[in-house]
Amino acid sequence: MKLEKKKNLEEYVQIIKDDLEKAWKISKELISKTNKKLRIKLKNKNKKFVEFERNQLVLLKGRGDKLMKTKDKSINPKLSNRNIGPFEIVEINEDKNAIIQITPSKTQAFHFNDLILYEGKLRPFPEGYFTPSINEIIKIVIPEERGPFKGEKILPCRKKKK
């Protein structure tokens, strides 16, 4: 009687052991298939890399250490533009750096990861104008004071005390 119980117990343990091995094998295969699918999906998702060319217009990403120092802290970031530009690519290095024309006299090198392709209509250097550097002081002509013309009436300020 004890021998039969021992054999039944050993058979039962062997059956459970076999079932567990099958379950582990099936789960391993499913996990590896899922991982392969996710890897392929991730590779395809990150293939938005754009090859930049000379004379192409780009925007600078507004995130990162390079531009954080130059941003005005008093302006709410929700109200400011995320990207700066457009700028024109003057030259491309073999190190995946694009040299960008910031002003007519100043160029700066940026890595391709810091650039976004610009597809808008605005040109950065229309005749007589240019896109200024973030820290550059721009001299402008102050218009001449304009007086009232004949028949024009200047309205008084309500806040001034009489």
> Are 65 and 42 members of one domain?
no
Query: How confident is the model over 49-102, as pLDDT tens digits?
Result: 678 888 888 888 876 665 666 666 677 767 666 788 788 899 998 887 899 888
Domain assignment of residue 127, yes or no:
no
Query: The tokens of 35 are what?
Result: 């991982």
Question: Which candidate, 52, 139, 136, 59, places its Cα nearest to that of 96?
Answer: 52
What is the number of domains present in the chain?
2
Domain carrying residue 35: 1-48
Residue 25, pLDDT > 90, answer yes
Phi/psi for 115 (5° steps) reads -115, 150
Three-state DSSP at 133 gives coil
What would the mean pLDDT of 112-120 be, rounded to a whole number? 84
- 8 in a domain, yes or no? yes
Match 């117990």 to its residue by tokens.
9
Q: How far apart are CA 84 and CA 55, in angstroms?
A: 17
User: What does the pLDDT read at residue 47?
Assistant: 60
Mean pLDDT over each residue of the chain, to the nearest integer: 77
Whether residue 64 contacts residue 85, with contact meaning beta carbons closer than 8 Å, is answered with: no
User: Do 100 and 110 meet the contact criterion of CB atoms below 8 Å apart?
Assistant: yes
Do residues 57 and 85 lie in contact, with contact meaning Cβ atoms separated by under 8 Å?
A: yes
Say whether both 70 and 109 belong to one domain.
Answer: yes
What does the pLDDT read at residue 108? 86
The pLDDT tens digits of the residues spanning 139-162 come to: 666 667 766 677 777 777 776 665
What local confidence, expressed as pLDDT, does residue 32 receive? Answer: 94
The reply to whether 15 falls in a domain is yes
For the stretch 96-114, pLDDT in tens is: 789 988 877 788 888 888 8
Q: What's residue 96's pLDDT? A: 79
